[in-house]
Amino acid sequence: MAEHQLFRKRVLVTGGAGFLGSHLCQRLLDAGHDVLCVDNYYTGRRSNIEHLFANSRFEALRHDITAPLFVEVDEIFNLACPASPVHYQFDPVQTLKTCVHGSINMLGLAKRIKGKIFQASTSEVYGDPLVHPQLESYWGHVNPLGPRSCYDEGKRAAETLFMDYHRQHGVDIRIARIFNTYGPRMHPNDGRVVSNFVIQALQGQDITIYGDGSQTRSFCYVDDLIDGFLKLMEQSGTIGPCNIGNPNEFTIRQLAEAAVEMTGSRSKLVYLPLPTDDPKQRQPDITLAREALGWEPAVQLREGLERTIAYFDQLLAGKRSI
């Protein structure tokens, strides 16, 4: 028997047909585990997981986690929730229900099966931060009443639920705070800055920058992020929250210029008003991830952009299905 089969688990991934979820499902299968992918396909896409259907250890179930789920698994990765402003603001009440009701349902399942559960939280819990870079001990600067609040406050409430289930019921939890992530299988219409800039550049359209482009972000390639997920889940030294992201900081204008240059585009940069509550800066302090997980990102922006551009180039050419 292969060594990895001695530790074979049945793992539930909610939001498993999404951008991050589909990569996680692949990695878990590669490690020899059985995977139950649950998704309601609001933003997840069947095309993200079609290549996994032939694997006998992979199962896909259409389900919305705001309703209870009764399955037998060993571990849970809770990734279900729209993560881009375009999608989470379309139905803000449902977004908040996914964060709160969905977390309650998944935590209840973890309590019943006595299994470990991972929460995909977000750097949005820091809001428009007054501390830079952001440490896990920072409580954040968040508007509870704005158009982004359904997501920001939903994820903050989810972290509260995870900590309370841990303290009150002894549920074995892990919480990761995800910073901007990009790579193949991003939804082409999700409105996120990397996919927006790459698609606009490939199509020769104007590159739309919100604000003056001086606001900063830190971009983590998806493979690095999934490495961080798995390392956080496997260790027992910390339950989190733990920042998972690339600490290298870039302005939005620098990203736009890189997209134009790397695609050989003639696109021009145009500037539009900054959306409400859009943070001016976002950069993770990953000291905890380095010390507790032995993790730090390996793929830097230019290399990751090359892979992402190649993916969207094929998508726009009709060689990949949307």
Cα(144)–Cα(124) distance, integer angstroms: 12
The residue annotated as part of the active site, out of 88, 126, 151, 221, is 151
The verdict on residue 319 lying in a domain is: no
151 is catalytic: yes
**CB contact at 8 A, 216 and 255:** no
DSSP tag of 293 = I
User: Is residue 36 predicted with pLDDT exceeding 90?
Assistant: yes
Quote the pLDDT of residue 54.
Answer: 97
- Range of 292's domain? 3-182+220-246+282-298
pLDDT band at 188 (very low <50, low <70, confident <90, very high): confident
Any domain includes 142: yes
- Does 202 fall in a domain? no
In 3D, which of 170, 123, 119 has the Cα closest to residue 142?
A: 123
Report the domain count for the chain: 1
**CATH code assigned at 178:** 3.40.50.720
- Predicted confidence (pLDDT) per residue in 272-300, tens digit: 998 877 778 889 999 999 999 999 999 99
Average pLDDT over residues 150-159: 96
Looking at the whole model, is its pTM more than 0.85? Answer: yes
What letter does residue 193 receive in the DSSP assignment? H
Cα 217 to Cα 196: distance, rounded to the nearest angstrom: 15
Residue 127 CA to residue 139 CA, distance in Å, equals 9
Who wins on pLDDT, 277 or 76? 76
Q: What is the DSSP letter of 56?
A: T
- The rounded distance, in Å, linking the Cα atoms of 198 and 204 is 10
Question: Cβ distance 201 to 263 under 8 Å?
Answer: yes
DSSP-assigned beta bridge partners for residue 243: 177
Model pLDDT for residues 251-264, shown as the tens digit of each residue: 999 999 999 999 99
Q: Decide if 254 is inside a domain.
A: no
Q: With cut-offs at 50, 70 and 90, classify the pLDDT of residue 56.
A: very high
Cis peptide before 241 (omega within 30 of 0): yes
In a domain, residue 200? The reply is no
CB 24 within 8 A of CB 52: no
Convert the pLDDT of each residue in 5-34 to its tens digit. 558 999 999 999 999 999 999 999 999 999
The pairing of strands 216-218 and 249-251 is: antiparallel
What average pLDDT score do residues 78-95 get?
Answer: 88
User: Closest by alpha carbon to 103, among 23, 36, 15?
Assistant: 15
**What's the whole-number average pLDDT of the chain?**
94
- How high is the pLDDT of residue 4? 45
pLDDT for res 319: 62
